[in-house]
């Protein structure tokens, strides 16, 4: 039993996903949660790293609290992005949730080896999907204690 | 021959005989008269001489009664033949002494000592007369000379006791008894001692001295044969040694005279005929062999005598049904003076050698046949890798018309440089290491410039001392095999590539297919969620169908992925407890078991070599099916195992709906379903996966069932000894 649930607060989410329909579905799920969390989207691996390292047009980007990372991405795939994040001292404390349709053991195992914070497979069923997204939201915004704010704060 | 007869009047080596008052003839081997003494001069031709001389062969003496036609009419004689030793300095064969036959009147003037006295004295013939007691009554000059005793002193002494040795009284009795009885005795040889200590060998003939019809004494006539005797002793000795030597030799040895008459043979020779050596003396080849063969031998002998050349003749014959080979060396027997006395022959039985040679020759012939008819290239080289010999096939491969052309050549003379270099390096290595090179695959350029593949084996050749003196090699054209192997390898590579692509495809397809499916399902659901109040029942039904379809599609894809993964897993087989696999599968099936209230029991399950994850999957699918296809009763599933010689048979028996026997095979085929989706959901992949897993474990899977009476699925797993050695990747 949770005696003192931590107060809910809005968190910044970076979604790395190339499929607009998927992005929209995630947005819809977050919208239904009505938690007011902010969502930024990078549509491929290179863009995701540019965003995180504030390169080019992302020089003003804000550091996300949580990263939702798809594995199949154009240009640089999810594993490469994950590896780079976890090698970067300034980024590696950001929780990364791998979101993939793959149920392949190897995909799961390799993600954890690359220090993913968790691996979640996308359910086909909408209700279950919505539930998954809300769970992520709830966990990181309401249950987990995020690392102390970086230089952004 | 008669022309050469030497008459007694002439001084010659036989002059001693001239004084002897008995007719004496010296005869040659064929009976021809070489010499006659004066007493024999008046004798006419004696026609029986030749026959007697021939009869004398093989014996020392011969005595025969012979009648001679004289001017006074026929007269009977006793003919005494004495064979001369072969090595006698006399080139003669026999001495014939004629004495008057007993009973006939004594020849006038022949027996009286006084009559012949002068002649005898001059001739050095010893004449000793005795009385009936053996006391000396007359003693001539020659006797004085030999004994060193004056006649005056000798008279009255016992002749036999005092002068002769070694037999003395024995001899005396013998001589006198014979003389009394037969009127004569001899010839006999005994030694006569001289006062000076030396002794002489004297050949004696003793005749009776008669007076008034009674025997009054004896007259011994003797001539000195010391020199002859000494030579004969030496000869006998050396002859004895020679005989002993020859007798013990395994070679067959014979000596024949010029006329082809055997003079002596050794024991080995005689044994071949099953006779004694002495049986052969005096015989000829005509007595021993078939006429034709004897002719041939005679001819051979004659040639050897004529040409004086030693000949080696190999003769083949069949003895007791077996082939026999004899090598004969025939050599002329040549005297110091250069005369040819006869032929000596040495036989060596070379049957064994000959048979061995034949065997070797046969083997060689076989080898030649093999070498020249084998399609394989065969070659021999020396230590420097120069060809010493090659076969026809090798010559052909090198573009040579004759295998001899290769002799002395190096590979570099016959092959492209890079190939020759490799051959040479191999050979020098194997010579240095004294180790065979077996089945080496090497290229060869054909005379037409094409490449072919050879499988070559080269072995060191050693001499009797074990030193490597070269190499022998054989090469087989394996181009066809290599081509087939290459084609096979290509096919296998291609298969592996296409398999890999297929796996890749299955993975990518299933992964990438799921994304759009998710979108379809999610958005239709979102549509229903947001707009259900604006849709009629049809609209909602349609959306349901769309969602259901997408969901099932995703199930199919998941299962397909699982199916393809069974083959891609590259795990190793470990000793795996089947009960562990079953436990895990039960855990995964927890919800279904709880929901169906299924009772699952098991017997003792073995430990097998396998992949735990796949065996878990196997049990999960089989138990899942058993629950899914349950009948009206509460499901009861029993898992058991029994062992045959080579495998475990696992049975999963249920009390479910079972199936018609005709579907027994079909249910293991991918996507084959027996029931409508409404009744029993599923993709039809479960049992196909089971089959794939069992097959990968080296087993079989089958089902036994009657519709409505439950089903039992059996699968087998081979029994393998469980140890580290069996942990092989599969």
Which pLDDT tens digit goes with each residue over B428-479?
888 888 888 998 988 888 888 888 899 999 999 988 888 888 999 999 988 8
Task: Tell me whether residues B525 and A127 touch, CB distance under 8 A.
Answer: yes
- Closest to B199 (Cα-Cα) out of B162, B272, B146: B146
- Tell me the chain B residues in contact with residue A103 when contact means C-beta distances shorter than 8 Å: 558, 561
Does the structure show a pLDDT above 80 at B121?
no
pLDDT bin (cut points 50, 70, 90) of residue B163 is confident
Best of B516, B517, B518 to mutate (most A CBs within 10 Å, chain A): B518
pLDDT bin (cut points 50, 70, 90) of residue B247 is low
A151 touching chain B per CB within 8 A: no
pLDDT bin (cut points 50, 70, 90) of residue B549 is confident
Q: Please tell me the distance from the alpha carbon of residue B217 to that of residue B176, in angstroms, as a whole number.
A: 8
A129 touching chain B per CB within 8 A: yes
Instruction: Give the residue-averaged pLDDT of B600-607.
Output: 91
Percent pLDDT > 90 in chain B is 10
Task: Tell me whether residues A104 and B511 touch, CB distance under 8 A.
Answer: yes
Listed in sequence order, the residues at least 6 apart from B203 whose beta carbon sits closer than 8 Å to its beta carbon are: B186, B187, B188, B189, B222, B223, B225
Q: Poorest-confidence range of B107-116, B253-262, B400-409, B579-588?
A: B107-116
B532 touching chain A per CB within 8 A: no
- Tell me the chain A residues in contact with residue B518 when contact means C-beta distances shorter than 8 Å: 22, 101, 122, 124, 129
B291 touching chain A per CB within 8 A: no
Looking at every residue in chain B, the average pLDDT score rounds to 78
pLDDT of residue A16: 92
Q: Which chain A residue lies closest to B550 (C-alpha atoms)? A: A124
Residue A21: which of B514, B519, B558 has the nearest Cβ? B519
Biggest CA–CA distance in chain A, Å, is 47
pLDDT bin (cut points 50, 70, 90) of residue B701 is very high
Best of A22, A98, A124 to mutate (most B CBs within 10 Å, chain B): A124
Does the structure show a pLDDT above 60 at B100?
no
- B117-126, B546-555, B567-576 — most confident range: B546-555
Q: Which chain A residue lies closest to B546 (C-alpha atoms)? A: A125
- Tell me the chain A residues in contact with residue B562 when contact means C-beta distances shorter than 8 Å: none
Instruction: Give the residue-averaged pLDDT of B553-572.
Output: 73
Q: What is the DSSP string of B638-705?
A: EEEEEE-SSEEEEEEE--S----GGGTTGGGSTT--SS-TTTS---S-HHHHHHHHHHHTT--EEEEE
- Tell me the chain A residues in contact with residue B554 when contact means C-beta distances shorter than 8 Å: 124
Does the structure show a pLDDT above 50 at B86?
no
Instruction: State pLDDT tens for residues A90-135.
Output: 888 889 999 888 777 788 899 999 999 999 988 877 888 888 888 8
Task: Tell me whether residues B522 and A129 touch, CB distance under 8 A.
Answer: yes
- Tell me the chain B residues in contact with residue A102 when contact means C-beta distances shorter than 8 Å: 511
Instruction: Give the residue-averaged pLDDT of B480-500.
Output: 87
B550 touching chain A per CB within 8 A: yes
pLDDT of residue B110: 34
Does the structure show a pLDDT above 50 at B548?
yes
Does the structure show a pLDDT above 70 at B716?
yes
Residue, of B730 and B110, whose pLDDT is higher: B730
Phi, psi of A37 (to 5 degrees): -70, 150
pLDDT of residue B108: 36
Instruction: State pLDDT tens for residues B226-245.
Output: 765 665 566 566 666 666 66
B522 touching chain A per CB within 8 A: yes
Task: Tell me whether residues B521 and A124 touch, CB distance under 8 A.
Answer: yes
ipTM: 0.74
- B187-196, B298-307, B342-351 — most confident range: B298-307
Q: Poorest-confidence range of A127-136, B44-53, B94-103, B458-467?
A: B94-103
Instruction: Give the residue-averaged pLDDT of A34-63.
Output: 85
Task: Tell me whether residues B514 and A124 touch, CB distance under 8 A.
Answer: yes
The interaxial angle of helices B612-628 and B578-588, nearest 10 deg, is: 50
Instruction: Give the residue-averaged pLDDT of B662-666.
Output: 81
Q: What is the DSSP string of B432-457?
A: HHT--EEEEEEEEE-TTS-EEEEEEE
Residue, of B401 and B720, whose pLDDT is higher: B401
Does the structure show a pLDDT above 60 at A1?
no
Task: Tell me whether residues B515 and A22 touch, CB distance under 8 A.
Answer: yes
Q: Please tell me the distance from the alpha carbon of residue B380 to that of residue B469, in angstroms, as a whole number.
A: 11
Count CB pairs under 8 A between chains A and B: 47
pLDDT of residue B29: 66
A23 touching chain B per CB within 8 A: no
- B217-231, B334-348, B650-664 — most confident range: B650-664
Residue B518: which of A28, A124, A127 has the nearest Cβ? A124
pLDDT bin (cut points 50, 70, 90) of residue B88 is very low
Residue, of B526 and B514, whose pLDDT is higher: B526
B511 touching chain A per CB within 8 A: yes
Instruction: Give the residue-averaged pLDDT of B542-570.
Output: 77
């Amino acid at each position: 039993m949770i005696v003192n649930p931590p107060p809910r607060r809005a968190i910044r989410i970076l979604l790395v996903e190339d499929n607009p329909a998927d992005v929209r579905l995630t947005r819809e799920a977050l919208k239904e949660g009505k938690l007011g969390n902010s969502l930024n989207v990078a549509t491929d691996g290179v863009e995701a790293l540019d965003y995180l390292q504030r390169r080019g047009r992302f020089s003003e980007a804000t550091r996300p609290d949580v990263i939702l990372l798809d594995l199949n991405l154009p240009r640089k795939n999810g594993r490469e992005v994950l590896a780079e994040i976890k090698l970067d001292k300034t980024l590696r404390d950001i929780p990364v949730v791998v979101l993939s349709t793959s149920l392949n053991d190897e995909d799961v195992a390799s993600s954890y080896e690359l220090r993913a914070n968790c691996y979640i497979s996308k359910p086909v069923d909408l209700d279950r999907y919505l539930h998954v997204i809300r769970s992520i939201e709830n966990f990181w915004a309401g249950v987990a204690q995020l690392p102390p704010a970086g230089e952004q704060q | 021959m008669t022309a050469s007869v030497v008459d007694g009047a002439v001084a010659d080596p036989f002059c001693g005989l001239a004084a002897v008052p008995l007719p004496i003839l010296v005869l040659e081997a064929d009976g021809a008269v070489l010499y006659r003494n004066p007493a024999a001069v008046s004798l006419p031709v004696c026609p029986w001489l030749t026959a007697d001389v021939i009869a004398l062969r093989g014996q020392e003496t011969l005595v025969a009664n012979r009648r001679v036609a004289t001017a006074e009419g026929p007269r009977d004689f006793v003919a005494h033949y004495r064979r001369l030793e072969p090595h006698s300095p006399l080139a003669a064969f026999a001495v014939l002494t004629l004495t008057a036959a007993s009973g006939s009147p004594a020849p006038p003037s022949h027996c009286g000592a006084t009559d012949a006295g002068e002649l005898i004295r001059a001739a050095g013939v010893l004449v000793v007369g005795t009385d009936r007691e053996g006391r000396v009554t007359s003693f001539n000059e020659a006797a004085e000379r030999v004994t060193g005793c004056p006649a005056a002193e000798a008279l009255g002494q016992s002749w036999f006791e005092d002068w002769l040795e070694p037999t003395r009284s024995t001899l005396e009795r013998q001589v006198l008894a014979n003389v009394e009885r037969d009127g004569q005795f001899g010839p006999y040889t005994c030694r006569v001692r001289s006062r000076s200590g030396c002794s002489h060998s004297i050949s004696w003939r003793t005749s009776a001295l008669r007076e008034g019809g009674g025997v009054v004494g004896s007259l011994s006539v003797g001539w000195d044969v010391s020199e002859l005797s000494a030579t004969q002793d030496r000869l006998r000795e050396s002859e004895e040694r020679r005989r002993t030597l020859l007798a013990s030799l395994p070679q067959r040895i014979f000596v024949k005279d010029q006329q082809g008459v055997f003079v002596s043979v050794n024991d080995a020779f005689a044994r071949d005929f099953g006779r004694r050596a002495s049986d052969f003396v005096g015989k000829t080849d005509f007595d021993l062999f078939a006429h034709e063969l004897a002719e041939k031998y005679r001819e051979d002998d004659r040639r050897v005598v004529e040409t004086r050349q030693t000949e080696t003749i190999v003769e083949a014959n069949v003895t007791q049904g077996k082939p026999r080979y004899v090598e004969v060396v025939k050599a002329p027997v040549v005297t110091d003076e250069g005369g040819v006395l006869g032929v000596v022959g040495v036989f060596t039985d070379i049957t064994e050698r000959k048979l061995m040679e034949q065997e070797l020759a046969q083997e060689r012939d076989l080898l030649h046949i093999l070498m020249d008819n084998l399609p394989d290239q065969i070659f021999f080289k020396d230590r420097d890798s120069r060809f010493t010999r090659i076969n026809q096939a090798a010559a052909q491969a090198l573009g040579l018309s004759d295998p001899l052309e290769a002799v002395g050549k190096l590979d570099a003379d016959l092959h492209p440089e890079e190939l020759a270099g490799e051959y040479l390096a191999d050979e020098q290595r194997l010579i240095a290491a004294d180790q065979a090179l077996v089945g080496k695959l090497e290229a060869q350029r054909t005379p037409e410039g094409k490449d072919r593949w050879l499988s070559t084996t080269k072995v060191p050749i050693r001499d009797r001392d074990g030193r490597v003196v070269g190499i022998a090699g054989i090469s087989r054209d394996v181009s066809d095999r290599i081509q087939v192997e290459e084609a096979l390898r290509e096919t296998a590579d291609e298969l592996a590539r296409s398999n890999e692509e297929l796996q890749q495809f299955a993975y990518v397809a299933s992964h990438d297919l799921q994304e759009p499916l998710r979108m379809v399902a999610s958005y239709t659901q979102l549509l229903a969620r947001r707009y259900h109040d604006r849709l009629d029942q049809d609209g909602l039904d349609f959306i349901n169908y769309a969602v259901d379809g997408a969901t099932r599609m995703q199930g199919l894809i998941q299962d397909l992925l699982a199916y393809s993964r069974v083959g891609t897993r590259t795990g190793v087989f470990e000793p795996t407890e089947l009960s562990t696999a079953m436990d895990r599968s039960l855990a995964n099936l927890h919800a279904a078991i709880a929901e169906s209230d299924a009772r699952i029991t098991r017997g003792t399950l073995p430990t097998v070599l396998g992949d735990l994850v796949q065996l878990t999957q196997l049990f999960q699918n089989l138990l899942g099916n058993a629950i899914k296809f349950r009948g009206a009763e509460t499901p009861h599933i029993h898992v058991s195992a029994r062992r045959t010689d080579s495998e475990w048979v696992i049975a999963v028996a249920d009390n479910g709906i079972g199936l018609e026997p005709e579907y027994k095979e079909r249910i293991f085929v991918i996507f084959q379903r027996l029931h409508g989706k409404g009744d029993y959901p599923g993709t039809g992949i479960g049992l196909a996966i089971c089959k794939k897993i069992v097959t990968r474990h080296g087993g079989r899977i089958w089902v036994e069932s009657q519709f409505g009476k439950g089903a039992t699925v059996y699968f087998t797993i081979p029994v393998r000894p469980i140890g580290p050695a069996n942990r092989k990747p599969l």
